[in-house]
Chains A and B, each alone.
Chain A
Amino acid sequence: MQGQSAIAGIGETTYYKRGQSPKSEFQLAIEAITKAVEDAGLELKDIDGLSSYMESRNDPARLSAALGMKNVAFAAQPWGDGGNGLAASVGIADAAVSAGYAKNIVVFRALAQGQFGRFGQSKPATHVSGNDTFSAVYGMLSPAHNCAIQTTRFMHEYGVTQDSLAEIALTANAHAQLNPRALRYGKPLTREEYHASRWITKPFHIYDCCPENDGAAAIVITSRERARDLKQTPVPILAAAQGLGLRDGAPLHNGPGFPTSFNREVGQQIWQRAGITPKDVQVAQFYENFTGPVLMAIAEMGFCEPEEINEFVANGNIQGPDAKLPINTSGGNLAECYMHGFELINEAVRQVRGDSTCQVADVQHSLVVSGPGYRPGSAVLFSKD
């Protein structure tokens, strides 16, 4: 039952630095959704399903009223309060359309941290409870600390260099120089600037960490058949997958698979479902919360062995439209906009349509891998119709 649904439209707002959006988060969501629906050649009244992730504040009741939806036949989010749900939010919409539960589902993410306060900034009270007692008491409470600890061990086990972390940051920034939507457009980053930049939590420099931004992005998913009658070239969802291995759910780095980005099972399943291998992918978008987990995700998705990651990302192998595997071609979370990864979905669709600002030639398969280091992992694979 793979490939029954397709992306019919994409949309996004202008992207802003954190706190600089003139619109509220809900207004941003409506704007991105409206643009995606227009891009598809549909009308708002045609939408009958909603999906998001990361415990979206923009709930189906409020959205459906504001959008004038005649019926909400499907509304769901995958579990998880991290970017791990990005591709899964597309995957569940794919499943719902394929099963006939809804006809035209909007998947979106909206974010106005100026309005609602910042992620990853929690200050503990005088006492913490539950599993936090075993971590926050020691000053470990941010996603950066969590991913840094994973990355330190990954670097140790496989001889991964700081320069390989740099490659992820430099690639995103280089690609953003081609993309006028990108917040880092016109602000190139050099390797020297990367290495000289301040530490956040070792081994992460400031440029290893996603920024904080405001904006919204959305897509419309419909059946592949219906999509062929609409305005845009359909971009079929060839396969999607979630995954989490045996006791990978154990807290505080006690899973047997540590260090892991929680993508080993995701990788195995998505290639099996799609009937292709990583070699058949021309372009890939990897959610960057931090650079280190991206390296882990590349290996766990099967693009190389972890011992080979230094070479895999070096020498321009992931940078530019002619690279061996161009990644994060719009600038991604690090340099286009930290839209909790949704800008990666739109970019992956653009690569299949052929209108990326860093267009790869003859794209047959275009991959998005969700936020690494958060659970369960997920990925989605688009193909040419």
Chain B
Amino acid sequence: MQRYMPDWWALPAIDDNNREFFTSGKIVIQACKSCETLQHPPEDVCHACQGTTFNWRACSGEGVVYSHTVVEHPIPAALKERVPYIVVVVSLDDHPQIRVLGNLVNIDPEKVEVGQPVHAVFETIEDKENDVTLKIPQWAVVN
């Protein structure tokens, strides 16, 4: 799918903490190997047991809009061609305590609401500068 933000907008610099999230094509959350607690965004240390080894838990990609803002004023000014755009915080159905940020890509900004069911969609972007295929998670209202 086409990118929601402009083509020139910032891409994630991939590191060990965000590689799964931005390249797997799934909603993937960090899970502590010792106590299995899930946390997002990924951290070097488990918030529950201070463990330092992790694996990744793939989720269904279903969730609800927990909060949102519609950005009307472009910061920086170069975004003036893109506003208004929607930023949502999505609470995952599998793990409601986990909240993931993204854009809501298939709805008029006037129509975003807390509680709307949404599902993950992915923007495939070839990041030639870093030789990586990104699959940036985004959110779409369930029709």
Contacts and interface: CB of A to CB of B under 8 A. Distances in A.
Decide whether A and B assemble into one complex: yes
Interface of A: 120-131, 133-142, 144-145, 148-150, 152-153, 156, 198-203, 247, 250-254, 256, 258-259
A250 to B, nearest CB: 7
Nearest to A256: B97
Interface residues of B, number: 44
Contacts of A202: 69-70, 72
Nearest to B127: A127
Contact of B5 (A130, A139, A144, A258): A139
A133 B72 contact: no
Nearest to B104: A138
A149 B87 contact: yes
A199 B72 contact: yes
Contacts of A259: 67
Contacts of A139: 5, 9, 71, 79, 82, 85, 87, 103
B85 to A, nearest CB: 6
B94 to A, nearest CB: 15
Contacts of B100: 134
B32 interface: no
Contacts of A129: 12-13, 15
B54 interface: no
Q: What secondary structure prevails in chain A residues at the interface with B?
A: loop
A254 B39 contact: yes
Nearest to B41: A134
18 contacts: A122-B76, A126-B10, A126-B11, A130-B15, A134-B100, A137-B5, A138-B102, A139-B9, A141-B75, A144-B75, A149-B89, A152-B69, A153-B66, A153-B67, A156-B114, A202-B69, A250-B47, A254-B97
Residue from A139, A142, A198 whose CB has the most chain B CB atoms within 10 Å: A139
A206 to B, nearest CB: 8
A293 to B, nearest CB: 13
A26 B97 CA distance: 46
B98 interface: yes
Interface string B47-73: 100000000000000000011111111
A202 B98 CA distance: 23
List of 8 A-B pairs having minimum Cβ-Cβ separation, nearest first: A133-B12, A124-B10, A148-B69, A153-B67, A199-B72, A123-B76, A127-B13, A129-B13
Nearest to A122: B76
B87 A138 contact: yes
Given A134-B18, A201-B71, 12 more contacts: A124-B10, A126-B10, A127-B130, A128-B12, A128-B13, A137-B5, A139-B82, A141-B75, A144-B73, A156-B114, A250-B39, A259-B67
Contact of B41 (A122, A148, A251, A256): A251
Contacts of B27: none
Nearest to A128: B10
A208 to B, nearest CB: 12
A137 B47 contact: no
Contacts of A252: 40-41, 99, 101
A125 B66 CA distance: 29
B87 A152 contact: no
Nearest to A259: B67
A136 to B, nearest CB: 6
Interface in B122-140: 129-130, 136
Contacts of A148: 69
A123 B72 contact: no
B82 A200 contact: no
Contact of A247 (B22, B47, B73, B75): B47
